[in-house]
Amino acid sequence: MVLMLIVFLYIFSFFSGGFVLFLGFFAQYFNSMAIGTFIFASIVIICIAILIARIISSARSRSYDYYYDYMGRWTREQIRDRIRGIRYGGWGTAIFLLMLFIAILGVVYNATIVTPGGARYLMDNYVVFIDRPIEVSMTRIIPQETAFAYATSFLTLPTHRIYIEESYEYYINGSIIYNWIIEPSGIWNEIFRDAYGVVLVNGSIYPPHVVFINRSLYWSLHRTRITPLYIDTLLRQLKARALALQPLIDDNIEVYIDGKIYVLIPIKTWVKGFTYSIPMLYGYAIIEENGDIHIVEAKELMQHPLARRIFESYEIPIIPDDLAREWIEILRWYAGFWEVVLQRQTFEIRDVGYIKQPYLLFDSNRNLYWVFTVEPAGEGYAIKYIIYVDAKTIEPKILVYRPEKTLMGASRIASYVQKAHPTLDWSKFMLTEPIPIISNETLYWKVSIITNDGRGVLYIDFVDASTGNVYTLQVLERLTVTEFDMYIKTFRLPVEGATAIESIKRLQQEVKELIESLQRILEELQRLEKEITNRTI
């Protein structure tokens, strides 16, 4: 019996990362609970413990009956009397019914009190309604599918691959960067081979610029290391350092700085009260090439030398998109549980295509926002709110704008785009990545038309969300971010009712943006001339 227990514990330890993943699951689960929910859960656990004690006592009673009847020492009644404090009467049934009642009550409490309580906590402390939309844009010329197709085209290792869903995005000098780890492929390679560096794709130029940085990485998302006692992974390493917290592995960020590759993993915690539990950013795990892991709290990101160097060098959103989306999903329940379930007094975040909301956009001052366009619940497909989540703060900063006129949502623009291209064979092409751009207080849906294999970009269309007008930018052999920016300015219209001063300020801003665009062209030209000169020499 003891040997079987030892074997069971060894097997369980081996597959649970030395019990770390098992303990981490429950620690994280209880850490995420509101205080009220935790009390209900604690009562249920106490009831379960008493029931287990009763079962053990029953087993002991049967074994004692057999042993002492055989030895002729004690009678069955004597043994029962010795443990009647646990077994006597209907205690077991009563405790089971109590546990079931408390569990059901806890579920109802969590759904009807805690869920809307979290929404009210966010609304009261972190949400601000704004009168005018924040004008946001982007330099995302290349869809993620196209960036992935180009990256895989240059990948020659049969033992490694990249996973399209494991990309993140950030900006370098105004250019959007997709990033992937070159992971070992298959169980054998995941155990015996390290990741082979990273691939970075500049998505602000067509054709995209692909850079492979070949380095052996001790830890990656799919690397598995076998030890005598347990299976070791990056997730286990992170949970061992932050048992009750949640590493957001899917939001991994790869950067190349000072000749080294660093992988950043955001870590989530919770702020709790009696009637609410809100996810918050705890900090970041920074993983070096040699496997060293640094856990940096959010409030110390700008004090930690390495973290500060990374976040100052690149325009990386501090708030991960999954965390921003959790906040908005919580706000859906602000009206109350029954009002949402029965009366649909809420909104929905509808995703169109492969890329899910939110969208990483920036304003004229290069402030980064995660932008959501949410629609009414049910069969309504107009935009109900435009929601901005500040991506560079460590706490929620949520700005909400309610459009004054009807704007079509992303799920309704496909017909307008297809009508604008009547000669295209849509069996060979597809629409992808509808992303909102707001210019002159007008929302346009930027959508790309690409080949089914993702390698070719034919057109970039801009659909006016209020009128349905489609503006088409044909993508020929080459397209730069400067040309992209200048095209957007060609269909900007003056704001109706704008004063002369407002118009002057807007024109001044556009002139400033044009000067900056021309400056970037000049810098690129000088770089190319210098490169040609060096080659000639």
pLDDT tens for each residue of 92-138: 777 778 888 888 998 999 899 999 999 999 999 999 999 999 999 98
Residue 401 dihedral angles phi and psi, to the nearest 5°: -125, 130
User: Average pLDDT in the 69-73 region?
Assistant: 50
pLDDT of res. 59: 57
Nearest of 179, 256, 183, 181 to residue 210 by alpha carbon: 179
- Rounded CA-CA distance 128/387 in Å is 10
- Rounded CA-CA distance 175/208 in Å is 11
pLDDT range class, residue 536, cuts 50, 70, 90: very low
Residues 236 and 282: beta-carbon distance below 8 Å: no
- What residues contact residue 431 under an 8 Å CB cut-off, 6+ apart? 353, 414, 417, 418, 447, 448, 449
Using one digit for the tens of pLDDT, what is the confidence trace for 149-161? 999 998 989 999 9
What one-character-per-residue DSSP string does 434-448 give? EEEEEETTEEEEEEE
**Amino acid type, 247:** P
Residue 457 dihedral angles phi and psi, to the nearest 5°: -110, 115
Domain boundaries, the chain: 12-124, 144-317, 494-537
pLDDT of res. 358: 94
Residues 101 and 42: beta-carbon distance below 8 Å: no
The pTM of this model reads 0.85
- Rounded CA-CA distance 26/377 in Å is 34
- What residues contact residue 399 under an 8 Å CB cut-off, 6+ apart? 127, 128, 129, 130, 134, 387, 388, 389, 390
Using one digit for the tens of pLDDT, what is the confidence trace for 244-264? 999 999 999 999 999 999 999
